[in-house]
Amino acid sequence: MRKFILLILFIFSGTLLFSQTNGFVAAYDSMHQRFQVYYAFGEWKAIDWNALNNQIRPKIVNAGTASDTNAFYLALREYVASVPDGHISVRGDGWEDHKAYARYQQIGGSYGFALIGLDDGSVVTRLVNPGSPSALAGMHYGAEILEINDMPVNEVLDTVSVLWAEANPATLECKKLNQCRFIGRVPIGKTMKIKFRNRDAFDPATATLTAVDDNNATFDQTSLLPVDPGPTVSYKILQPSGYGYLKLTSEGGDSATLAKIYTDFREAITVFNNAGTPGMILDMRVNTGGEDMLSAALSGFFSTDTILYEYQSYYNPGSGLFELYPLLLQHFNPQTLGPYTNPKYPNGALFTEPQGLYYSNPVMVLVGPRNISSGEGIPMSLQRLPNNKVVSFYGSNGSFGMIEWWSIHFLYPPPDDLYLRYPVGRSLDKNLKIQVDSDSTMLGGIVPDIRVPLNDTVIDQLYIDSIDVELNYAISELNSVLGIDEQNRSATGLILEEIFPNPLKSPATISYRLDAAAVVSLSVYDLTGKLVKTLVDHPQQAGRYTIKWNAENVKPGVYFFRIQSGKYSITRKCIVQ
């Protein structure tokens, strides 16, 4: 093992020294030689390294001959985009101007539209900007695109470059999403003949569009980056369903951040358990990943057994093979909120361990293309357990490999600061097969058990009404799993009105209504899920009831009022000042 580590250090240090040369070719050659050896999925994705080098190296040579730094950067982008892995990127703060220039030259022009593919195979506009060339040609939102330059639209989509995607598409569906974005972005002044049919028209229309500078409008409007993912952990109890909703946007950060993510997540599970939520929705759609040991630990809230999360495999220069990591892997300790190692576990193995708090009810997991890296681990774990399903439009990113300290190769060290970042570790299942990362056919990621439909009605809900269709679909699936008839749900006769006043300083007024006689339980819980007060717990006749609760003797904070009748429950939140 010591030889393994020392050789990696030697190679890494030598690469830094070698790449300090000013020559583009020398910098590229050093990168290519190392990348094809240490990249974790070259064989898995069937990368033809010679063909890739023959495609890119002449462009590097030409850029060096002409001293054209922009051309050098563009060739590197093309190299990176040729490998379908969302973890791979070429970065450097000092190269942002070159990136902006190259992107402007290639896709600075816009026709003013973006597309989306529907379940029936048709392709329609999800966006038509006012005053854009497409809008001036009479194209409307929702128009079906039939042909581009006299060719079927899907044939043209297959040829669209995704070089400027914010993250390399690792799966076919993620690639298609980006192609639907970029088909309307080209060099300024380029023309496109397009045949389309608006929703309210019987006959198709044909127009020739000329791309204009839109200040990257459609690029930004359709970004697949999690620009504002929101709080790392957020949760609530949905009404009127009573289901728990938990959103997790990251499992990364320093030790204090990891500890807070864990405790916030545990707090949510505690609240859901104590409030008696009959089911839960775990929203992982925007999750940038982080630490595998934390992902494995958080998965433990949904299992009472110790289950293999992954084996980790890395390249060993001594053998020339990818081998299991030869030491114990760190696990997350729920007591100390930090790492520990268990000598009973095999080397290179990470396990999902029970956390002493268990959520036993069904869970619907939401994923999507912005769910990447370690963020794909919890959906992977839950999907393997009974009563849980992944419900989404699309699968996750499919880029699950490990990024380590030696995952960065500097072509130019600071202050020039240009480097390639890529995964060097593989995640393996119990059969020692690569898991989650997309393969040579670009299939992989967390594939939904239930695909949310994509049709004209759904995209109107998404892009016009701003409805969270996936969330609503997950609620419907929970209702189905629990045997709840949605059409008759309002006939349960259980209504809990809003707490008044809220926030409150004086006694709270809680009003509820029963349309039929029932045994009613009405209780107050604090933010941790601890029972504060039981207000009602006996049979009642049909009618409207009002209860007063004096909060003078409780601490300021967030409290939950939960009413239950049979298998139905409703929860309201109240703030005590």
Q: For the domain that residue 522 is a member of, what is the CATH number? A: 2.60.40.2360
Amino acid (1-letter code) at residue 530:
K
233 burial level (CB within 10 Å; 0-12, 13-18, 19+): buried
Among 546, 511, 548, 553, smallest CA distance to 532 is for: 553
| 424 lies in some domain | no
**pLDDT tens-place string over residues 161-217:** 999 999 999 999 999 999 999 999 999 999 999 999 999 899 999 999 999 999 999
Q: For residues 494 and 106, give the distance between their C-alpha atoms in angstroms, rounded to a whole number.
A: 59
Q: Check whether residue 7 and residue 54 sit in a common domain.
A: yes
Q: Check whether residue 237 and residue 359 sit in a common domain.
A: yes
Q: Check whether residue 497 and residue 518 sit in a common domain.
A: yes
Final residue before a domain boundary, out of 59, 93, 127: 93
Q: Check whether residue 296 and residue 314 sit in a common domain.
A: yes
Reading the block at residue 468, the tokens are: 């969270």
Q: Check whether residue 250 and residue 384 sit in a common domain.
A: yes
Confirm if 256 and 290 have CB atoms less than 8 A apart: no
Amino acid (1-letter code) at residue 111:
Y
Residue 53 sits at the vertex; the CA angle it makes with 36 and 43, to the nearest 5 degrees, is 35
Residue 37 sits at the vertex; the CA angle it makes with 34 and 41, to the nearest 5 degrees, is 120
How many CB atoms neighbour CB 358 within 10 A? 13
Alpha carbon 304 to chain centroid distance? 26
Q: Check whether residue 348 and residue 280 sit in a common domain.
A: yes
Q: For residues 449 and 246, give the distance between their C-alpha atoms in angstroms, rounded to a whole number.
A: 19
pLDDT at 227: 65
Q: Check whether residue 281 and residue 350 sit in a common domain.
A: yes
Amino acid (1-letter code) at residue 294:
L
Q: For residues 127 and 113, give the distance between their C-alpha atoms in angstroms, rounded to a whole number.
A: 5
Q: Check whether residue 291 and residue 144 sit in a common domain.
A: no
Sheet arrangement for strand 450-451: 233-237, 244-248, 280-283, 363-366, 388-392, 450-451
Confirm if 390 and 427 have CB atoms less than 8 A apart: no
The CATH number assigned to the domain holding 287 equals 3.90.226.10
Q: For residues 334 and 259, give the distance between their C-alpha atoms in angstroms, rounded to a whole number.
A: 9
Phi-psi region of 276 (alpha: psi -120 to 50; beta: other; left: phi over 0): left
Q: For residues 18 and 27, give the distance between their C-alpha atoms in angstroms, rounded to a whole number.
A: 8
pLDDT at 89: 96
| 411 lies in some domain | no
Q: Check whether residue 293 and residue 358 sit in a common domain.
A: yes
| 242 lies in some domain | yes
| 98 lies in some domain | no
| 126 lies in some domain | yes
Final residue before a domain boundary, out of 93, 117, 150: 93
pLDDT at 493: 62
Q: Running along the chain, 577 residues long, what does each successive block of 10 average in pLDDT?
A: 35 36 84 97 98 97 93 96 97 90 96 97 97 98 97 97 96 97 98 96 96 97 81 92 95 96 97 93 96 98 97 96 97 97 97 96 97 97 95 97 92 88 98 98 97 93 93 93 62 67 78 79 83 89 80 83 79 81
Domain total for the chain? Answer: 4
Report which DSSP code applies to 377: H
The CATH number assigned to the domain holding 215 equals 2.30.42.10
| 214 lies in some domain | yes
- Could you give phi then psi for residue 376, rounded to 5 degrees? -85, -10
| 416 lies in some domain | no
Report which DSSP code applies to 235: E
pLDDT at 486: 54
Question: Which residues, other chains included, contact 107 with Cβ-Cβ below 8 Å and sequence gap of 6+?
Answer: 164, 182, 185, 186, 187, 219
Residue in the block written with tokens 């690639």: 175
Parent domain of 545? 489-576
Q: For residues 562 and 522, give the distance between their C-alpha atoms in angstroms, rounded to a whole number.
A: 6
Final residue before a domain boundary, out of 169, 194, 221: 221
Q: For residues 313 and 329, give the distance between their C-alpha atoms in angstroms, rounded to a whole number.
A: 11
60 burial level (CB within 10 Å; 0-12, 13-18, 19+): buried
pLDDT at 488: 43
| 298 lies in some domain | yes
Q: Check whether residue 89 and residue 150 sit in a common domain.
A: no
312 burial level (CB within 10 Å; 0-12, 13-18, 19+): buried
Residue 567's alpha-carbon distances to 150, 497, 544, in angstroms, are 59, 19, 20
Q: Outline where DSSP puts E strands in 378-449.
A: 388-392, 408-412, 418-421, 425-428
Q: Check whether residue 33 and residue 169 sit in a common domain.
A: no
Sheet arrangement for strand 494-496: 494-496, 508-514, 543-549
Confirm if 207 and 225 have CB atoms less than 8 A apart: no
Q: Check whether residue 152 and residue 40 sit in a common domain.
A: no
Alpha helices of 139-224 — where are they, by DSSP H? 153-157, 172-182, 217-221
